[in-house]
Structure 1
Amino acid sequence: MNKKSLSRRDFLRMSAFTTAGALLAGCVPASPTGAGGAEAPAQTQTLNFWMWNTFAPPADELMQEKINEWGAANGVTIEISRDADSNMQTKIMPAIEAGTLPDAMFVGGGVALQMMDAQSLDPLTDLFAEIGDAHDGWQPRLDTFVTRDGAVHFLPYSIDTPMVQFRQDILEEAGLTVPEGQWTWDQTRDLCLQASQYTEQQGNKLFGWGFGVVKLTHDGWCTDLFRNFGADLWDETGQKIILADEKMEEATRALNFAKEAWDAGLFPPDAPAYDYAANNKAYLEKQAILVINAASIYVQASQDDPELAEATGLAPKPKDVRDTTDAGLRYTLVMSQSSNNKETAMDLIRHLYSSDVYAPWLELGFVANVLKEYDSLPMWTGKRAAFNLAAQIGTYGGYPAPYDNAAIAELTGSPDAPVGSMIVRVLIDGWDPERAILEADEFSKRVFAKYF
C-alpha cells in the first residue's frame, strides 16, 4: 500500500467528491454588544466558522448564540455558515480544492479523517492535551483514537452511539425486572423472549428483537455481539486477521447464541429483508419490543408519539465477556491549515468546551460528553444516564486496534462484511459455525493481503 500522504487534488479525485458550484452559506455576524448588554470591544478581526443543522435544532441555536456572544465579547466578528448536516462532504471537499475552508468548524469524525489525509488541517496536539487537563481528562480510548502518527488533528466534541431502545412498559406489565445500566446478552435474549410471549398471550404479539439478518447490518447488533463475546476478526495492530486461527471458540459461541435466538423466534420473519429504515419502522409502529439504533428513534417518538417515548427505556448495547459498545464521534472541532487567525480560532475552540457552552449544549442535544468533567451533570439521570454510560465504555473504529485503517474500512464496508455474512450463513443458509467462520476468515485475509 502506498503510505505517502495524498495531495488535496489526488485525494479529491480518489474520493470522487467532485461536486462543484456555488454553495449557500448564511453569514451571521456577531452581535455588536457583549454579554449582558455591555459595549463590545473594538472589532479587530474576522473569523469564519462552519457548523451544521442537526436533529436537535435547539442545540444548534444555542451553539450559534454562544459563538456570537464570545465574538462580541472578544472583539471578533464571527461569520457563521450553517448548512444541512447531509451536505457536509459535498460542501467541505470542494472547499479544500478551492482553498476556501473556514478558520475552524465542526465536522463529523469520518470527514475529519478525510480532511487530515488531504493535508488540509492544522495539528491541535497541544490544544488536545490542554483541554483534557482543564476538564478532568477525555473519555476512555479517545486519546489513542485521535492520535495519528503522534499528532492530533481533530478534537472530539460529541459521542454518538447506537442504543438499546426497548418497551419498558411491556416488560413491566409482564412482571419482568428491568436491569439497571447495561444489560447482558443473556438478559437481552431472555427478557425479550418472555415479553414477546406475554404480548402473544394478550392477543397482540410483538417480536422480541427488531434486528435484521443481512450481510451488511445498519444497527450493528451482530458486530457488537462478536466484539463483546471476544470474537475479534483482527489483532491489536489492526494488520493481521486472527478469526479462525485464534478466535474460533469465541466466534462459534457467538454464532450459536444468535442461532438459538433465531430458533426461539426472537427475530421478525422479514429480518432477511431488513434495510436501513426497517428497525425504525419496527419500533415506531410497535412491532418489536427491542431495537438497536441511534437515539433518533427515541427523539422521533418524543415528537410524534409521546406516549411511546414515555414507555421507552434506553441502555447501551449488551455486554458479555466485554462491556464495550461501539461509538463514533458525531462532531469534532478542526482548524484549517490555511487559517490566518489560528490563535483566535484556538481561543474560540477552548471556549466551546467551557461549562457555559458545553453543558447547556449537551442538555439540548441527544449525544454523550467527551470530557470527564461533565460526567457529573445532573442531566445524566433516568433515561439519559445511558448516554453517559455509553460514552465511558465506547470503542471506536478499528477496535481492538487503536483506530481503523483502509483495510478495516474496506472489509467492514464490503457487501460481504464478514460478521454479517457469518450470521446469514448460520441463521439463514443452515451452515455450521466452523464452516461460516472459515469462509469469513479466508475472505478477510484476502482483503488484508492487499494492504499488509
Structure 2
Amino acid sequence: MSRKKLSRRQFVAATAMSSAALITAPYVRGAYAAGKLTMGFWDHWVPGANSASTELVNEWAAKEKVEVSIDYITSQGNKTLLTIATEAQGKTGHDILAMPTWWPHAQADLLEPVNDIMEPLIKQNGAVNGTVQYLGKAGDKWLGVPATIGSQIKGPCSRIDLMKKYANIDVQAMYPAGAPPKADNWTTDTFLKAAEACQKGGFAFGIGLGTTSDSVDTAGAFFLAFGAQLVDANSNITVKTDAVRQALEFYKKLMAFLPPDAPAWDDASNNKWLVSGKGALIMNPPSAWAVAKRDAPDVAEQCWTHGFPLGPKGRFAPFLPFFWTTWNFSKNKEAAKSLLVHLSQPASVEKLVAASGGYDLPAFEKLTTLKTWAEEGPPKGTLYHYPNPYNHQILSIAASPAPPKIAQQIYTQAILTKMCVRYYQGEAMEKTLAWAEGECEGYMRS
C-alpha cells in the first residue's frame, strides 16, 4: 500500500500544470468548501495509471478547496478485502473505498446510498449493464458508483495466426475493428471444434479449471450460455436440471482438449500460457496481451480480443466491476459524492481508460466507444471489441442470478469448476449434481 498526502497548495500547483478541464457536476447540491477527504483506491498494475487518478482528484480538490489523502491498496495478499473488513468492523476508515464485485452487498448495511448521484450519472452516461445493477444495488438502494478503475471483461483473446491455421477461423473478420461483429457462427459447437483442432496442432486453448477467479469466471459464462443456474433469483436450488447437465457435458468435451494440468491452474497460468506462445486462446482482460507486448512482441502482434461463443441460451461474458463506495459513518459524505461525480464524467473516464492502456472499463453504455480501444495495438484495433460496444453479449458474473450473498459463496468456493472436474474425472453425473446440491443447501442455511 502506498500513501500519498498532498497539501492544498500542492494540489493547486499540480492542477495549474494539468491540461484537463474542470468538470461541472451534473446535479445541484449545497456548496461544500474546505475540509478533508480520504480515499482508498485499487493499486493499479499498469505503470502510470495511479498518476491519472491522482491528477483527477487534484483537479477536484483544487476547485473545491478540500485537503485529500489517497491510499493505493494492492489486491495482492487480499489486502483490498482485509481493508474492507477492518474498516467495517472498526466503523472508521476511508471516506471513499474501492470494493470489488460481491463486497458492496456484503457490506450493504454500512454503505451510504448513492441514488442521488447514480440517477443523474445514468441519465448523462447511459444505462449501466445488468451485472452492475445486480452487484451494485440492494433493492432500490445504490450501494456504490461503478468504478472505471479495475473493472474488466474476461473475454477470449485469440491468436490470429493459430486460429486461422488450425481452426480455419479468421477472428479479425469475425470481430472487425470499427464494425459490428459477424459472429453468428461463433457458437459453443464451433468453439469445441476449434479447441480440438488447435490442441491437435500443438497449441491448446489455455482455459483453467482451478478454484481462482479466472477459471470460475469462464465456467460461469458457459453455464449461463446453457441456461444453467445452481440457485435461481428466488433462492430456489436448481442444480438438477437439464441445463446444468448440458453445461457439464460441454465441459467434459472441452476438457479433453485443454492442458492436462488445467484443474491446477491459478490466475497467472493462462497469462503465462499466452505469453509463452503455447496457446491459441485464453479468457482474460488485456493484461496478458499487455505483458506480451513487453516480453513477447511477436505473440502480442497476433492477439485479438473478441466475444464469447453463442450458447443455446445466449452469448455471455464475465464482467467484474469495481465500485467506489462511501461508508455511512463517513464524516464527509457530500464531498465524497462530489468527487465520485467528477471521476465519472466522460472526460475523466477517458483519461483513466487511456492511462490503463484500455484495460479499465466504464460500466455506462455511452462510454464504450472511446478512441483508446480503437487505436491500441499491435495489432491496431486489437481491443476494439473488448468493451462490448455493440451489446453483442450479455455481461454476467458466475453464480448469478442467485441472490448475491448466496452467489458469493458458490463463486468463492468454485462450485462450478469443481463440478466440471469431478464429472470429467469419472464421477457419475447424478453424484456430481447431488454433491453440488448439498453445497448449495449449506449456503442457504448459512
Question: What TM-score, normalized by structure 1, do the two folds share?
Answer: 0.79
1:188–1:99 CA distance, 2 compared to 1 (3 A):
same
Question: Which position in structure 2 is the counterpart of 1:358?
Answer: 349
Question: Which position in structure 2 is the counterpart of 1:399?
Answer: 400
In the alignment, structure 1 residue 109 sits paired with structure 2 residue 101: yes
In the alignment, structure 1 residue 284 sits paired with structure 2 residue 287: no
1:268 to partner: Cα distance: 1.7
Asked if the contact 1:135/1:372 (under 8 Å) is kept, the reply is yes
Question: Which position in structure 2 is the counterpart of 1:233?
Answer: 230
> Hey, what's the Cα distance between the residues in 2 that align with 1:324 and 1:448?
25
> Hey, what's the Cα distance between the residues in 1 that align with 2:398 and 2:418?
19
Secondary structure in 1 aligned to 2:404? coil
1:354 to partner: Cα distance: 1.1
Paired residues for 1:135-146 under 5 Å: 135-146=125-136
- The letter of the residue matching 2:215 is D
- Residue-by-residue CA offset, 1:17-57 (whole Å, 9 max, x unaligned): xxxxxx8633123423484469x9x9733322232321123
Question: Which position in structure 1 is the counterpart of 2:297?
Answer: 306
| Counterpart selection for 1:59 from 28, 45, 49 | 49
> Hey, what's the Cα distance between the residues in 2 that align with 1:73 and 1:427?
59
| Counterpart selection for 1:371 from 364, 369, 375 | 364
- The letter of the residue matching 2:191 is T
1:28–1:302 CA distance, 2 compared to 1 (3 A):
farther
Q: Point out the more displaced range, 418-427 or 345-354.
A: 418-427
- Residue-by-residue CA offset, 1:252-272 (whole Å, 9 max, x unaligned): 322333333345xx1223334
Aligned length: 405
1:326–1:105 CA distance, 2 compared to 1 (3 A):
same
1:213–1:32 CA distance, 2 compared to 1 (3 A):
closer
Asked if the contact 1:184/1:320 (under 8 Å) is kept, the reply is yes
- The letter of the residue matching 2:386 is F
| Counterpart selection for 1:447 from 439, 442, 446 | 442
| Counterpart selection for 2:83 from 86, 91, 100 | 91
Could you tell me which runs of 5 or more consecutive residues in structure 1 were left unpaired when the two chains were aligned: 1-22, 200-204
Asked if the contact 2:41/2:70 (under 8 Å) is kept, the reply is yes
- Residue-by-residue CA offset, 1:132-158 (whole Å, 9 max, x unaligned): 112222233433432213212211113
In the alignment, structure 1 residue 317 sits paired with structure 2 residue 308: yes
Asked if the contact 1:252/1:434 (under 8 Å) is kept, the reply is no
1:320 to partner: Cα distance: 0.5
Question: Which position in structure 1 is the counterpart of 2:432?
Answer: 436
Paired residues for 1:179-198 under 5 Å: 179-180=174-175, 181=181, 183-197=186-200
Asked if the contact 2:115/2:141 (under 8 Å) is kept, the reply is yes
1:125–1:110 CA distance, 2 compared to 1 (3 A):
same
1:25–1:215 CA distance, 2 compared to 1 (3 A):
closer
Secondary structure in 1 aligned to 2:195? helix
Secondary structure in 1 aligned to 2:70? strand
- The letter of the residue matching 2:401 is P
> Hey, what's the Cα distance between the residues in 2 that align with 1:400 and 1:37?
47
> Hey, what's the Cα distance between the residues in 1 that align with 2:209 and 2:442?
23
State the structure with more CA Rg.
1
RMSD of Structure 2 on Structure 1 (CA): 3.0
> Hey, what's the Cα distance between the residues in 2 that align with 1:448 and 1:110?
15
1:156–1:170 CA distance, 2 compared to 1 (3 A):
same
Paired residues for 1:408-419 under 5 Å: 408-414=407-413, 417-419=414-416
1:358 to partner: Cα distance: 0.9
1:142–1:391 CA distance, 2 compared to 1 (3 A):
farther
- Residue-by-residue CA offset, 1:409-446 (whole Å, 9 max, x unaligned): 333433xx4432332233222x45345334433x2453
1:147–1:364 CA distance, 2 compared to 1 (3 A):
same
> Hey, what's the Cα distance between the residues in 2 that align with 1:354 and 1:318?
33
Secondary structure in 2 aligned to 1:176? coil
Question: Which position in structure 1 is the counterpart of 2:117?
Answer: 127
1:225–1:345 CA distance, 2 compared to 1 (3 A):
closer
1:423–1:398 CA distance, 2 compared to 1 (3 A):
closer
1:347 to partner: Cα distance: 1.5
In the alignment, structure 1 residue 252 sits paired with structure 2 residue 255: no
1:127 to partner: Cα distance: 1.5
1:85 to partner: Cα distance: 3.6
Asked if the contact 1:35/1:73 (under 8 Å) is kept, the reply is no
1:99–1:439 CA distance, 2 compared to 1 (3 A):
closer
Q: Point out the more displaced range, 373-382 or 347-356.
A: 373-382
1:398–1:342 CA distance, 2 compared to 1 (3 A):
same
Question: Which position in structure 1 is the counterpart of 2:65?
Answer: 75
Could you tell me which runs of 5 or more consecutive residues in structure 2 were left unpaired when the two chains were aligned: 23-31, 176-180, 375-380
1:355–1:213 CA distance, 2 compared to 1 (3 A):
closer
Secondary structure in 1 aligned to 2:382? helix
- Residue-by-residue CA offset, 1:176-228 (whole Å, 9 max, x unaligned): 3323246422222222333344x3xxxxx222x22334577742333322221
- The letter of the residue matching 1:103 is D
Asked if the contact 2:41/2:71 (under 8 Å) is kept, the reply is yes
